Amino acid sequence: TNAVAFKKHYKSRAIPQAGRIAGAQFQEEGAGAGEAELVKSKSLDEKTIAFMFSKRSTRTRVSGETAVKLLGGAPMFLGSADIQLGVNESLYDTSRVVSSMVDGILARVGHHSEVETLAKHSTVPVINALSHLYHPLQILADLQTLVELRTPFTTDLSSLEGLTIAWVGDSNNILNEMMVTYPRLGVNLQIATPEGYPLMQEALDRANDGIAKEGGKGKIIHTHSPEEAVKGASVITTDTWISMGQEEESAKRLKDFAGYQITDELLKGAAKDAVFMHCLPRHKEEVDDAVFYGDKSVVFQEAENRKWTALAAFDAFFGKWKL
Ligand code: CP
Ligand code: NVA
């Protein structure tokens, strides 16, 4: 909800491609209520948010640092080359020390257990800025983008019910995030990964648990055929075949993923008004230029929405948090 309000306030131009996918209804209003108070509140006034990043980042860092500033706070970037962590100091000691001086931590890590350890020993809230298992800030931006494409300005995620999203690519953190989010909201997920790249059980269990608890009507279908996955889908999405940390497997992966590139030919099997999404950074092997820069692509709108959703997430989790 607040992501829509922040975007309306700071970005007065029209949303590109608003209301263009199946089931769209255009609503002028929504999210206006409380917008002025929200923006005025500067919930991070006099607060510092540490960005502990052990991997590279463009979108998460830029959206995050600008969001902290707009909320009145100070971002403090602590890359792995800057602090003692991992070289001279343990994660436990670092968590205790950093959290005793800041008001929130945004952490980009390798193994997911690192962000869990950090959260366990930190005395302030910790947000996952990407781990090998999940990337929650990305899915928030994707959700905002999907809502804009379907029912602009609504804040009601039930407007996404019945949508079908196709994933053609690796079994990775971004796919996991989609599995644990979309079916709960009634969104179907048609997944194609190559042989030897099974869905991660941990994410699948959490997805099924979420569906059971919340009565989500979305279905997860898994296949090894890209054509089968895109069939009739309104949204086609993918990500790099080589995630950060997997660089040594590059040659094998490029071979294993042959036939998985998203092209106009593959999109012929999708819904007529389908859109293409990608969390970025993008490489040509997973999607060619014609699709990536073509009229179906909403990737830059999706990237920009990282900022509006970071604002809303930081306001809720860092700004409203009290000891
Ligand atoms: N999508 C995303 O998280 O991008 P960065 O790695 O550039 O932050
Ligand atoms: N799967 C990618 C996502 C980058 C935003 C990675 O983990 O490197």
The sign of the dihedral angle between the CA atoms of 275, 261, 194, 178 is negative
* One domain, residues 194 and 68: no
Same domain, 255 and 112: no
* Cβ 242 under 6 angstroms from ligand 2: no
* Ligand at shortest distance from the CA of 142: 1
Q: Is residue 278 part of a domain?
A: yes
Domain, as residue range, for 68: 2-24+37-134+305-314
pLDDT at 24 over 60: no
pLDDT at 193: 98
Residue 141 and residue 305 in contact, taking contact as beta carbons nearer than 8 Å: yes
Residue 121 CA to its chain's centroid (Å): 25
Res 21: pLDDT: 67
Indicate if ligand 2 lies below 6 Å from the C-beta of 63. Answer: no
Whether residues 18 and 91 share a domain: the answer is yes
pLDDT at 32 over 60: no
The pLDDT value given to residue 23: 54
User: Both 227 and 285 in a single domain?
Assistant: yes
Q: Is the pLDDT of residue 48 over 90?
A: yes
Residues 205 and 115 in one domain: no
pLDDT for position 133: 98
In a domain? residue 29: no
| Residue 32 domain-assigned (yes or no) | no
User: What CATH number has the domain bearing residue 266?
Assistant: 3.40.50.1370
Q: Residues 261-285: what's their mean pLDDT?
A: 97
Question: What does the pLDDT read at residue 287?
Answer: 98
Q: Which of 279, 287, 310, 313 is catalytic?
A: 279
The rounded distance, in Å, linking the Cα atoms of 11 and 38 is 15
Tens digit of each residue's pLDDT (9 = 90 or more) over 74-85: 999 999 999 988
Interface predicted TM-score (ipTM)? 0.99
152 with 291, same domain?
yes
Whole-number Å distance between alpha carbons of 204 and 207: 5
Average pLDDT estimate for 151-168: 87
Q: Is residue 322 part of a domain?
A: no
Residue nearest to atom 4 of ligand 1 (CA): 59
Same domain for 283 and 217, yes or no, is yes
Chain mean pLDDT for the chain: 92
Q: Is residue 42 packed enough to be buried (19+ CB in 10 Å), middle (13-18) or exposed (0-12)?
A: middle
How many structural domains does the chain have? Answer: 2
Q: What is the pLDDT of residue 37?
A: 81
Instruction: Give CA–CA dist 137/319, Å, rounded.
Output: 16
User: Are both 210 and 82 inside the same structural domain?
Assistant: no
- 30 located within any domain: no
Q: What is the pLDDT of residues 109-155, one digit of tens each?
A: 999 999 999 999 999 999 999 999 999 999 999 999 999 998 766 77
Alpha-carbon dihedral of residues 203, 205, 208, 210, nearest 10 degrees?
A: -70
State whether 110 and 258 are in the same domain: no
Ligand 1 midpoint to CA 283 (Å): 13
Q: Do 104 and 161 belong to one domain?
A: no
Contacts of 249 (CB under 8 A, 6+ apart): 242
Q: How large is the average pLDDT for residues 34-44?
A: 84
pLDDT at 240 over 90: yes
Q: Quick check: is 166 in a domain?
A: yes
